[in-house]
Every structure is written in C-alpha cells, then in structure tokens.
Amino acid sequence: MNPLDYWQAKHPEYSKKDWIHKPTIFATHAVKYFPPSGRILELGAGQGQDSLYFAKAGYEVVATDFSEFALGQLQNKISPDMSDRLSVQHLDLSQPLTFPRESFDIVYSHLALHYFDQKRTQDLFKEIYAVLKPGGIFATLTNTVEDPEIDRALRIEDEFYETGEITKRYFSTASMAKFTSKYKTLLLDNHGETHKDQIKTLIRFVGRKP
C-alpha cells in the first residue's frame, strides 16, 4: 500500500481514540531533557498531541507530517493564544529536510523515523543532526526488534521489513547507537511504551549534539 494512503486511512481511526487527545508517554519523559525554552521541530507529528503539549509548555513548535487529515485535525486544536508558538507544515520524510542548518534547539519524533531503508534512514539522521543547533537535543521513539509483528513480516534488509501494508524498520539499542553515534547519549534503552499498544520495549533515544 502507498504510505500516504495507509496513513490517510489510519488517522480517521485514530481521531476517535481517547489517547489522541493527551501527550504521549515518551513526550512527558523526553521533555525532562529539553532546555527550558527553545524551538522544536516535530517530525511525524500526526494529530499533534505532543506538539500541543510542548507549545503549552512554552516552546515554539513546528509540527510536521505528510497526512493532510492529521494536520487538519491539529490545526483545529490550535487555540488563538497558541497560534504564535505552534505552526503546521506538510512534510514527507522520504524526501530530504530543507530547513536551514542549526535552526532548531530540539528535534523530536514519536514513532515516525522507522519507515525507511538503510540509506534513507542514514541520510535522515544526518539531516536531523544538521538542522540542530550545537548543544541541541534530539529525542526519538522507534519500533523495536522485539515486536512480534516481525514474525509475520518479510525481511527486506537488516531490521527492515515489509509487513503486508507498509515497510517498517525495527531498531535495536545497538543499531540506534550507530545511527546516533555523533551525539552525547543522554538516554538509550528499550523501555519505551505508548498509550496505544501493549508493547513496552520500544527504543528510546535522547541525545545532545556537541
């Protein structure tokens, strides 16, 4: 299935769930590593529960996603008093990031960076590093190699599979360490979890750019 079609179908389902209206577990933990203020780029913001959470905490947030439905849902949630701190932008992560170098204090992503092959994943992580300011924070939650879904998926390359609907990368702490080797690691483990799923071994990473 085309990834855009996949997410355009998923987001109307998600909009009916109670968890779509509250910040994710990872966001409430990752924010403890953030500077007290600054500019955040969220990659794969979906319907924006974490972007809203960060904006309410006083951060300036650029929320990006490639689902127009999801971005529309988020746009409808932005109150007038928050409009100067939270902007919405359409972005396809399969294409290179075009933000200016060193333009964000924080790059944050919740379950959005694990859909690409080795080459695009390497390039994407380099692009994230480039748009972060020195001393900036990168925080991401990704799929795990311990996901039982792997047993039903077709392996394409190391840690990258075709699930029948979409392609997914399943990270380990070791592979995440390789992709993020330029950072000073503040958090790296497989204890991530979500309100949505029962899996409690998602890969958590928070690092600081030197």
Q: List the beta strands (DSSP E) in 27-144.
A: 39-43, 60-65, 86-90, 104-110, 132-142
- Structurally, the chain folds into a number of domains equal to 1
Residue given tokens 């799923």 in the structure block: 197
Using alpha carbons, select from 127, 151, 101 the residue that is nearest to residue 43: 127
Q: Is residue 156 part of a domain?
A: yes
Inter-axis angle of helices 3-14 and 68-77, nearest 10: 40
Answer whether residue 98 is part of any domain. yes
Residue 1 has pLDDT above 70, yes or no: no
Q: Cα dist. 60→40, 63, 64, 104 in Å?
A: 6, 10, 13, 10
Taking CB atoms within 8 Å and a gap of at least 24, the contacts of 162-166 are: 165/1, 165/6, 166/1, 166/3, 166/6, 166/115
State the pLDDT at residue 130. 98
Is residue 105 domain-resident? yes
- Band of pLDDT at residue 168, cut at 50, 70 and 90: very high
Please indicate, yes or no, if residue 189 is contained in any of the structural domains.
yes
pTM (predicted TM-score):
0.96
CA 133 and chain centroid, separation: 18
Asked if residue 20 belongs to a domain, the reply is: no
First to last CA, the chain: 40
pLDDT reading at 71 higher than 70: yes
Mind listing the pLDDT tens digit for each residue in 34-62? Answer: 999 999 999 999 999 999 999 999 999 99
Any domain includes 192: yes
Closest by Cα among 30, 74, 28 to 52:
74
Whole-number pLDDT of residue 5: 80
Structural domain of 57: 3-15+25-208
Q: Residue 120 maps to which CATH number?
A: 3.40.50.150
pLDDT number for residue 75: 95
In a domain, 200, yes or no: yes
Q: Does residue 2 have a pLDDT over 90?
A: no
Are 66 and 42 in contact, with CB atoms under 8 Å apart?
A: no
**Within a domain: 120:** yes
pLDDT band at residue 15 under the 50/70/90 scheme: confident
DSSP string, 73-93: HHHHH--GGGTTTEEEEE--T
